[in-house]
Structure 1
Amino acid sequence: MPRNAARPAASWRLLAALGCLAVLPAAAQANTLTIAAMTSPSALDPHYHSTNNNNMALRQIFDPLINEANNGKLVPGLAESWRVVDDLTWEIRLKPDVRFHDGTPFGAEDLAFTFNRVPNVPNSPGPFTPYVRSIKSIEVVDPLTVRIHTHQPNPFLDYDLTRIMMLSRSIHADATTGGFNTGKLAVGTGAYRYAGFILNERLTLEANPAFHGGKPDWDRVETRYVSNSGARVAAILAGEVDLVDSVPVQDVARLKREAAIEVYGTESYGTAYLFPDSDRENAPFVTDKQGRPLAKNPLRDTRVREALSLGINRQGIVDRLLAGQGAPAEQFAPPAVADRAPGLPPLAYDVARARKLLAEAGYPDGFRMTIHGPNGFFTSDGDVLQAIAQGFSRIGVETQVEVLPPANFFTRATNRDFAMFLTTYTSNLAANTLRQVVMTRDPESGNGPFNRQRYSNPALDKPLAEALRTMDPARRQALTSEAMRISVEDKAVIPVFYLRVNWAARKDRLTYDPSPNWDTTALFATPVKR
């Protein structure tokens, strides 16, 4: 089906969904924020799937101990302050008088409960485990003070704590992901309370009048999930919504010319990358040119992975498909990430060199492959995948594309159904990106939860493991850079481009603080004073 075939239906669904706002009193409508967002959360369990679409929705309902501001600074959440006591001990001072939405007090014992639950969520397609594995024990010093003891030094524990949303040991004692999805257990300490959720359709929130951070800016937040980009743009132009995310790259300049619209954009912490299966002897969706199985998986050969990288015209993708809303990637961390490796050269585009490498690897006539990706997960994702496939075909690897809805795609990627897939990863720490995606997968340590293709390289693991327990910043940076260079040279993943993200808002309704984590949330939307 053509990508634009769903536009009328998507537009109709959005209009129908927004029509329910008409039954609200005028005063309520005036302080209701309406959002058209591209991707629905897959679940309301804050520990189920560590992905942007889930986290940005759920941080409105639940709180972490520490928040990450859009300027990269760490600021208080449920923790009033935090400090390093020694290499194995952090002290956390909690805010007083914090309560969950049902009135249950939040306290020190809830920390231990939450950290214990995180690695035990069944069937998680992207667990939060790495963020809690370093924690050995929780010591309650007094009702508002806890000390976190770690197994080994963890210089990133404060960052890790921004990723874990707190639950209640009493409310959520036997919580299941299904219980959160019904709304029964979607009870947090956040600025907004659950008021309704339909998967892939809408999330409705209401202000939490007892929020520890003060009165929320909006009485009600209606988020409609509209995967079709044309429908989102039409909705903001017609004034049917106040805010839209993932503005199509071809519409950024147009919307900037609209007197009633303001476009908010930022360079993100996200990298779009390809993940080849370099682990299995035989990979699915890879055959010879006649469709017959190959004796071995060509993606296990570094020369083949390098050839595929050489077949990608990154600058062309950024210029033509992204209209300049991005930048070619040369490593697995964007320029906005502070601990990325300095001085790495651009990744070359060289068809002749790619063909030569394929011949050296034993594939002078190339082979056939299908590559996969999500459709409606990030801007222009399906178009980018097609451009990559055309580049591969030019070097002799006859390539087809299959795109899937995000929820289906990530489930299948986790099940290792693909030879190669396109996705993104977002983090403001290069060491964390490497830990999550390319470090050898180890459920015991929690490393590699997004290493869906089971890449493993001891030469990369060694400096990265050392970086993750090194408190000295200069030494840690050198180790992280070494691991990043190995990742690039071995093509553990194949970085394609860095994402620039854009929102469009009605000028008379709000201003928006653009998030490099590409979060679309009421927390960053400030009403215009009338």
Structure 2
Amino acid sequence: MHRQFTAALIALALASGAAQAQTFRWSGQGDPQTLDPVSQNESFTNAMNGQVYEFLVARDKQLGLVPALATEWKQDGPLKWTFKLRRGVKFHEGQPFTADDVVFSVNRSKEKTSQIAPYAAALGEPKKIDDYTVEFNLKQFDPIFLEHLNTVYIMSKAWCEEHKVTKPQDFTNKEETYAALHANGTGPWILVSRAPDIKTVYKRNPNWWGKIEGNVQEVVYTPIKSDATRVAALMSGEVDFILDPPPRDLERLRNTDGVKVIDGPENRVIFIGLDQARDELLYSSVKGKNPFKDVRVRRALYQAIDIEAIRTKLMNGQATPTGAVMPSPLGDFNDPEIEKRLPYDLNAARALLTEAGYPDGFEVTLDCPNNRYINDERICVALAGMWEKIKVKVRVNAMPKATYFPKQEKLDVSMYMLGWGGSITDAETTFTQIYRNRGTGGIGDYNRGNFKDDELDALVAASSKEVDPEKRKALIKKAMLRHNEQVHHIPLHRQFIPWAARKNVTVVHRPDNWLEWQWIKM
């Protein structure tokens, strides 16, 4: 009797443990901005939506492109691609997946409220050949066509029409839509509930066309803004994983029983942008003119940054300083001339300011997120302290990313922090969004300083359609050197992304900081 009772208790405990192991609880400092998959082009939001929605081509564990909702494709000359679609796939609410959904999704992604509009536009015109064949006819050669295709999430045309979300949510102007809080994809995870900034719950899709490698049945995401609280939640076992452990806590986490740190670099560059368009800055003591229009001022700010102090003291070595505004050195072909930073030199910085007519400096506001990048607010505060040494008094205006990005998108900034990265290491997506003059179709959309450099714009535009790889490489390098010479942005570093997890959790660390749930084992 006693042995039977004990055995029953053990069986109950094991069953309970197995059930617990099926639920993956994790946290990060921020929350997805929206569930509309193309409204915002923010990496964390993309990675969350990418568990529900899918692309025609997906990324494997090494960021290689593999079949997803498309099973095969061929290129017929430089301006035509044909794709065969996966049969028998259904959206989570039961709608069949067909070519109509692909054509609709590509065109939806071109709308002005879509932040991937320039990528979708580069795909040309999608055309349905039959229910399971789609043809793309391009207006000009696209050197990274498949990479661009990997930015367009496929939505159900019928679902979007039913819920009046045929256009992406206008997130910048605080539009609320059905797609912002609900989701209906074809992917391995189904949205169960969404409470913004509180908790979002997903369950495994039993009808997914692919094979899930991991053993997780349910995913619960809880944003925890406070670094200390987030780390404590991991150490106590309240959560199984945190995406962004603060660098200063890494050593303690490495030495904590039951916890491990998973190290890896990220394809992401952190930099400072400057309003170079207005005749007078919105937030500055300088009246009647804009100091940031003068390259000497931009250069002075750059040369007043002690990047080694930021790397060692603030980032605990978890960053690589760079002089290139490019997520990965692969984007500039590891060219040391492009990667080289301007030297830290306070005397040179002071001389440049004096030459530009600001011997006593000036005051200006730096807008900064406080829950998006590693140590984002602390970096901004450190920069303000460094610029104080050349008499530029900087007020740091830090805020949550949900407030910060709409403010920045409206160009309601004088100085701002931005991080740029993801799975694409080619220069094209950085160039089109950040280096181009602001234009139509999303071109230059992330040029939030609104600088106009026609020489740079022409170089970038030419590189976007150059067929010859060596000629394109030369154009890319020339464009980057032009950008660096003009200091249109002040580069800081490429951040590392160590993840932290309970010892019983196995994950795949990708350099695009994308946590793929189907690969998680507990």
CA-CA distance at 1:513 after TM superposition: 1.2
Given the two structures, how large is their TM-score scaled by the length of structure 2?
0.91
**Alignment of structure 1 residues 176-195 onto 2, 5 Å:** 177=169, 178-183=177-182, 186-195=183-192
Provide Cα deviations, 1:256-306, integer angstroms capped at 9, x if missing partner. 22242221121111011000001111111111xxxxx42200001111101
CA contact (8 A) 1:268 1:499 kept: yes
Tell me the number of residue pairs that the alignment of Structure 1 and Structure 2 aligns: 492
Secondary structure in 2 matching 1:171: helix
The farther-off stretch of 338-347 and 328-337 is 338-347
Provide Cα deviations, 1:167-225, integer angstroms capped at 9, x if missing partner. 11111123164202342xx1000110010111111110011111111247321100101
Q: Aligned to 1:223, which of 221, 224, 230?
A: 221
Secondary structure in 1 matching 2:158: coil
CA contact (8 A) 1:315 1:327 kept: no
CA-CA distance at 1:141 after TM superposition: 3.4
Q: Aligned to 1:296, which of 286, 289, 313?
A: 289
CA-CA distance at 1:526 after TM superposition: 2.1
Confirm whether residue 367 of structure 1 aligns to residue 365 of structure 2.
no
- Alignment partner, residue 302 of structure 2: 309
CA-CA distance at 1:102 after TM superposition: 1.4
Distance 1:336 1:490, change over 3 A: closer
Secondary structure in 1 matching 2:431: helix
- Alignment partner, residue 259 of structure 2: 261
Counterpart-to-counterpart distance in 2, 1:29 and 1:171: 34
- Alignment partner, residue 276 of structure 1: 274
Q: Aligned letter for 1:239?
A: G
- Alignment partner, residue 197 of structure 2: 200
Given the two structures, how large is their TM-score scaled by the length of structure 1?
0.89
CA contact (8 A) 2:409 2:448 kept: yes
Q: Aligned to 1:386, which of 362, 376, 381?
A: 381
CA-CA distance at 1:70 after TM superposition: 4.5
CA-CA distance at 1:416 after TM superposition: 1.7
CA contact (8 A) 1:129 1:449 kept: no
Provide Cα deviations, 1:492-511, integer angstroms capped at 9, x if missing partner. 11111111001111122x21
Q: Aligned to 2:411, which of 408, 416, 420?
A: 416
Confirm whether residue 76 of structure 1 aligns to residue 63 of structure 2.
no
List alignment gaps of at least 5 residues for structure 2.
Answer: 1-14, 170-176
- Alignment partner, residue 403 of structure 1: 398
Confirm whether residue 327 of structure 1 aligns to residue 317 of structure 2.
no
CA-CA distance at 1:28 after TM superposition: 3.6
Confirm whether residue 457 of structure 1 aligns to residue 453 of structure 2.
yes
CA-CA distance at 1:93 after TM superposition: 2.2
Counterpart-to-counterpart distance in 2, 1:258 and 1:96: 48
Secondary structure in 2 matching 1:399: strand
Confirm whether residue 164 of structure 1 aligns to residue 164 of structure 2.
no
- Alignment partner, residue 4 of structure 2: none
Q: Aligned letter for 1:153?
A: F
CA contact (8 A) 2:123 2:142 kept: no
Secondary structure in 2 matching 1:48: coil
Secondary structure in 2 matching 1:46: coil
**Alignment of structure 1 residues 436-451 onto 2, 5 Å:** 436-444=433-441, 446-451=442-447
Counterpart-to-counterpart distance in 2, 1:215 and 1:268: 25
Secondary structure in 2 matching 1:477: helix
- Alignment partner, residue 40 of structure 2: 49
Q: Aligned to 2:209, which of 208, 212, 218?
A: 212
CA contact (8 A) 1:262 1:504 kept: yes
Q: Aligned letter for 1:91?
A: T
- Alignment partner, residue 131 of structure 1: 119
CA contact (8 A) 2:269 2:328 kept: no
Counterpart-to-counterpart distance in 1, 2:468 and 2:61: 25
RMSD over aligned CA atoms reads 1.8
CA-CA distance at 1:426 after TM superposition: 0.7
- Alignment partner, residue 526 of structure 1: 520
The farther-off stretch of 484-493 and 72-81 is 72-81
- Alignment partner, residue 431 of structure 2: 434
Confirm whether residue 64 of structure 1 aligns to residue 28 of structure 2.
no
Counterpart-to-counterpart distance in 2, 1:494 and 1:332: 8
Confirm whether residue 107 of structure 1 aligns to residue 92 of structure 2.
no
Distance 1:303 1:236, change over 3 A: same
CA contact (8 A) 1:333 1:340 kept: no
**Alignment of structure 1 residues 329-344 onto 2, 5 Å:** 329-340=322-333, 342-344=335-337
Secondary structure in 2 matching 1:511: coil
Counterpart-to-counterpart distance in 2, 1:133 and 1:357: 42
Between the two proteins, what is the percent identity of the paired residues?
28
The farther-off stretch of 452-461 and 149-158 is 452-461
**Alignment of structure 1 residues 243-254 onto 2, 5 Å:** 243-254=241-252
Secondary structure in 1 matching 2:124: strand
Q: Aligned letter for 2:123?
A: I
Q: Aligned letter for 1:387?
A: A
Secondary structure in 1 matching 2:211: coil
CA-CA distance at 1:250 after TM superposition: 0.8
- Alignment partner, residue 235 of structure 1: 233
Counterpart-to-counterpart distance in 1, 2:153 and 2:362: 46
Counterpart-to-counterpart distance in 2, 1:157 and 1:182: 30
- Alignment partner, residue 9 of structure 1: none
